[in-house]
C-alpha cells in the first residue's frame, strides 16, 4: 500500500465520525498544545486510533487530532507531531499533513519551539519564518512521486506564504507586540547543537534552529497549501550564553509565552 492509499484510509476513518471540512490546519509544537482547550464543538482522535498514525514519544506532544471551532472558525489541529529524531521515516513524520490535505485543509499554520541564533533575539520572542535551511540532508519528497499530491519537481521559491506572514505581523501589532522575522534551520536532534555548529549555522544565514517544521512545510507546499510558520524562541542556542540547554527549559518558556501565542494564533485565524 503506497502512502496515498494509507492517507486515504486515515481520511476515510476520520470522515466516518464527522462531516466537518476545515480549511485551516494547525500543527502545535512543544508546550504549545494548550490552544486546543479553547476549541469548542470538538471531535478528537488519538493518533494511535487513526489508521497509519503512530503515537509520538516527545514530552509536550499529546498526540491528538482535534477538529472544532477556534474563535468561531473551523480548524483541525494536531496537538503534537512526529520528529525525525524519534526514528520515524520522513513519510511518517509528514503523514498527518497529507491527511489534513485530503480533509480539505488549504492553509496550514506550523508552530514550533526552537533556539535563537540571532543575538538580537530573546527567549520568549515569537518569530515568523520567512525561509528555511534544510541541514538534515534529507527530504520527505525523495522516492517515487505521489502524483495525486503534487508535481515531481515542486517550486520552493516561496514555501512560507508572504501574504500569511504579513497577516501575522499585522495581528501581532494589533495585540501590542512585534514579531521577529527570520530564517529557520532544521537540525536532526535529539542532541542540541554544539557551539561550533551554531556558529556554522549563523554563518549560513539562519536566525533560529529547531528539530521540526521543515519536512511538514515541504510536503504542504508540494500539495499547493498556503504555509505559515511561527517559532517560539524558547532559549538562546548553544554557546551564545554560558549555560547548558534542556528540554525542560523549552517547555517552561513555551508555557510563559502561551497567552501571547494563543492570542496571536486566534487573531490570525479570524483574519483568514
- Whole-angstrom distance, CA of residue 67 vs CA of residue 63: 13
- Whole-angstrom distance, CA of residue 134 vs CA of residue 141: 13
Catalytic residue among 127, 185, 211, 254: 211
Residues facing residue 229 across a β-bridge: 110
Catalytic residue among 71, 86, 145, 263: 86
Active site residue 113: yes
Active site residue 88: no
Q: Could you tell me the pLDDT band of residue 252, with boundaries at 50, 70 and 90?
A: confident
User: What's the sign of the alpha-carbon dihedral 72, 77, 79, 80?
Assistant: negative
Catalytic residue among 83, 101, 132, 222: 83
pLDDT tens per residue, range 167-196 = 999 999 999 999 999 999 999 999 989 999
Active site residue 178: no
Active site residue 83: yes
Share of the chain above pLDDT 70, in %: 92
State the pTM of this model: 0.93
Catalytic residue among 10, 39, 113, 185: 113
Distances (CA, A) of 23 to 77, 104, 159, 219: 11, 6, 18, 17
Active site residue 79: no
Active site residue 86: yes
- What domain count does the chain have? 1
Active site residue 101: no
Q: What is the pLDDT of residue 43?
A: 95
Q: Could you tell me the pLDDT band of residue 251, with boundaries at 50, 70 and 90?
A: confident
pLDDT tens per residue, range 13-53 = 999 999 999 999 999 987 677 889 999 999 999 999 999 99
Can you give the residue range of the structural domain that contains 103? Answer: 3-271
Catalytic residue among 112, 118, 231, 235: 235
- Whole-angstrom distance, CA of residue 153 vs CA of residue 69: 35
- Whole-angstrom distance, CA of residue 263 vs CA of residue 243: 31
Catalytic residue among 85, 145, 249, 263: 85
Catalytic residue among 247, 252, 258, 263: 247
Q: What is the rounded average pLDDT of the residues 58-79? A: 87
Active site residue 156: no
Active site residue 61: yes
Catalytic residue among 61, 101, 132, 222: 61
pLDDT tens per residue, range 80-124 = 889 999 999 999 999 999 999 999 999 999 999 899 999 999 989
pLDDT tens per residue, range 126-160 = 999 999 999 998 999 999 999 999 999 999 999 99
Q: And the C-alpha cell for 242?
A: 554560558
**Domain holding 136: CATH number?**
3.40.50.1580
Amino acid at each position: 500500500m503506497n502512502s496515498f492509499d494509507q492517507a486515504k484510509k486515515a481520511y476515510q476513518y476520520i470522515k466516518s465520525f464527522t462531516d466537518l471540512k476545515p480549511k485551516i490546519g494547525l500543527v502545535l509544537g512543544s508546550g504549545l498544545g494548550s490552544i486546543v482547550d479553547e476549541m469548542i464543538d470538538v471531535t478528537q482522535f488519538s493518533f494511535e486510533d487513526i489508521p497509519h498514525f503512530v503515537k509520538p514519544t516527545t514530552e509536550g506532544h499529546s498526540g491528538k487530532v482535534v477538529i472544532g471551532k477556534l474563535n468561531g472558525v473551523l480548524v483541525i489541529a494536531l496537538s503534537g507531531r512526529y520528529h525525525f529524531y524519534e526514528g520515524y521515516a520522513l513519510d511518517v513524520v509528514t503523514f498527518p499533513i497529507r491527511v489534513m490535505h485530503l480533509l480539505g485543509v488549504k492553509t496550514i499554520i506550523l508552530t514550533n519551539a526552537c533556539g535563537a541564533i540571532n543575538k538580537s533575539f530573546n527567549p520568549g520572542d515569537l518569530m515568523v519564518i520567512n525561509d528555511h535551511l534544510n541541514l538534515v540532508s534529507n527530504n520527505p519528497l525523495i522516492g517515487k512521486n505521489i502524483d495525486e499530491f503534487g508535481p515531481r519537481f515542486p517550486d520552493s521559491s516561496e514555501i512560507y506564504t508572504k501574504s500569511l506572514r504579513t497577516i501575522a505581523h499585522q495581528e501581532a501589532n494589533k495585540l501590542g507586540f512585534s514579531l521577529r522575522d527570520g530564517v529557520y534551520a532544521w537540525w536532526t536532534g535529539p542532541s542540541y547543537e554544539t557551539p561550533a555548529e551554531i556558529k556554522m549555522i549563523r554563518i549560513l544565514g539562519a536566525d533560529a534552529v529547531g528539530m521540526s517544521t521543515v519536512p511538514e512545510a515541504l510536503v504542504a507546499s508540494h500539495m499547493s497549501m498556503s504555509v505559515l510558520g511561527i517559532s517560539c524562541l524558547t532559549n538562546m542556542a548553544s554557546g551564545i550564553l554560558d549555560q547548558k540547554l534542556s528540554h525542560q527549559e523549552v517547555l517552561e518558556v513555551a508555557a510563559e509565552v502561551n497567552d501571547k501565542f494563543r492570542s496571536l494564533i486566534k487573531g490570525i485565524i479570524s483574519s483568514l
